[in-house]
């Protein structure tokens, strides 16, 4: 074979490879909403609440008017800086809002992620927090509230099935569901998840003794919530751009698919309000989210939906807020108390508090 023919074939191969990369990149950007035109709006006046670190998840104790935050300097962690997390209690009854650590003792290497608040039959409260201790297996930490108000560690749950836990939803004193945002076991499977959108992530159920898979084939499950009656489980699929709804067997914990809530946006954490409405935080442009992770100066839009499962005569899904990232980037959770919406972020050291009509 002459050198000319070889060079021609190599050139065609290189051109085909470049074309494939371009097609995959454009598809990734298209699916991630990169070419959408956003029209920012808010339900009312929104104002920032400064924090010492970012609050990726929020849980509300409505009886006492306390917001619990999963507090960690995630931006510093992305830059390789050693960080230590905490759970923060924000008193919503004060003006201006005041807060302090919710924990009587912080577990070693505590790096909190998803949160869940559960009231036990005797009225006591428990906080469940996913933790990613550096160089150690992922855990679900269970804290119980003491007589003086602080939460003390009472159990640490580990299991090989906790491969990439992101969100947790408690349904008992030791029972809970966990969303693994990735099921990849190697770099090629991870590429398939992120770029080709293969559904490899799972939902796990811990019955107090053992952990097992109860839902699989999900496209990056990053949020989970259980309805007030305990009969429905909602799971957000970031790469699937939807929220999956399951019927829950209260006796066995098994899940049966019911319906999908299509968002055309990448959902993150989920929260129910006092009226049974589901509040969904979402990332309308995931490519911008990646750029925001790389550079703090690059904004990433934030979106909040309200899903009203029992709505009649009106759409069940409503976009409540869409911000271009200038008021709050990388919004990951929305929690409602009365007529106030609190939005937390993966990276920003603040909450956004918005008045609802």
* DSSP codes, 55-111: EEEEEEETTTTEEEEEEE-HHHHHTT-----EEEEEETTSSS-EEEE-BSSPPTT--
This prediction's pTM: 0.91
The pLDDT value given to residue 347: 97
* The domain over range 32-355 is classified in CATH as 3.40.640.10: no
The tens digit of pLDDT for each residue in 85-120 reads: 999 999 999 888 989 999 999 998 999 999 999 999
Q: What is the pLDDT of residues 175-213, one digit of tens each?
A: 999 999 988 788 887 777 777 778 889 999 999 999 999
- Taking the C-alpha atoms of residue 132 and residue 129, their distance in angstroms, rounded to an integer, is 10
**128-144 tens-digit pLDDT:** 999 999 989 999 999 99
């Amino acid at each position: 074979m002459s050198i000319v023919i070889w060079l021609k074939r190599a050139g065609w191969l290189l051109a085909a490879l470049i074309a494939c990369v371009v097609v995959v990149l454009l598809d990734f950007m298209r699916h991630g909403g990169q070419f959408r035109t956003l029209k920012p709006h808010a339900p009312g006046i929104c104002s920032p609440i400064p924090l010492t670190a970012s609050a990726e998840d929020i849980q509300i104790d409505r009886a006492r008017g306390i917001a619990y935050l999963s507090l960690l300097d995630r931006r510093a962690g992305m830059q390789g800086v050693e960080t230590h997390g905490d759970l923060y209690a924000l008193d919503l009854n004060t003006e201006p809002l005041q807060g302090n650590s919710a924990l009587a003792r912080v577990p070693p290497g505590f790096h909190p992620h998803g949160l869940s608040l559960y009231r036990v039959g005797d009225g006591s409260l428990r906080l469940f927090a996913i933790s990613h201790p550096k160089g150690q297996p992922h855990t679900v930490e269970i804290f119980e509230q003491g007589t003086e108000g602080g939460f003390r560690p009472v159990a640490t749950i580990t299991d090989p099935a906790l491969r990439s836990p992101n969100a947790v939803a408690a349904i008992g004193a030791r029972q809970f569901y966990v969303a693994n945002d990735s099921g990849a076991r190697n770099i090629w499977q991870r590429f398939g998840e992120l770029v080709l959108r293969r559904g490899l992530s799972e939902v796990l159920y811990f019955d107090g003794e053992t952990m097992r898979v109860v839902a699989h084939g999900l496209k990056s499950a990053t949020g989970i919530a259980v309805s007030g009656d305990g009969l429905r489980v909602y799971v957000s699929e970031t790469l699937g751009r939807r929220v999956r709804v399951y019927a829950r067997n209260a006796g066995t914990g098994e899940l049966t698919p019911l319906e999908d809530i299509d968002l055309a946006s990448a959902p993150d954490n989920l929260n129910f309000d006092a009226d049974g409405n589901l509040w969904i935080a979402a990332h309308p442009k995931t490519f911008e989210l990646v750029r925001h992770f790389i550079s703090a100066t690059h904004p990433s839009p934030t979106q909040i939906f309200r899903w009203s499962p029992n709505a009649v005569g009106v759409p069940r899904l409503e976009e409540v807020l869409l911000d271009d990232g200038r008021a709050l980037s990388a919004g990951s959770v929305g929690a409602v108390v009365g007529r106030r919406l609190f939005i937390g972020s993966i990276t920003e050291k603040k909450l956004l508090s918005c008045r609802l009509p």
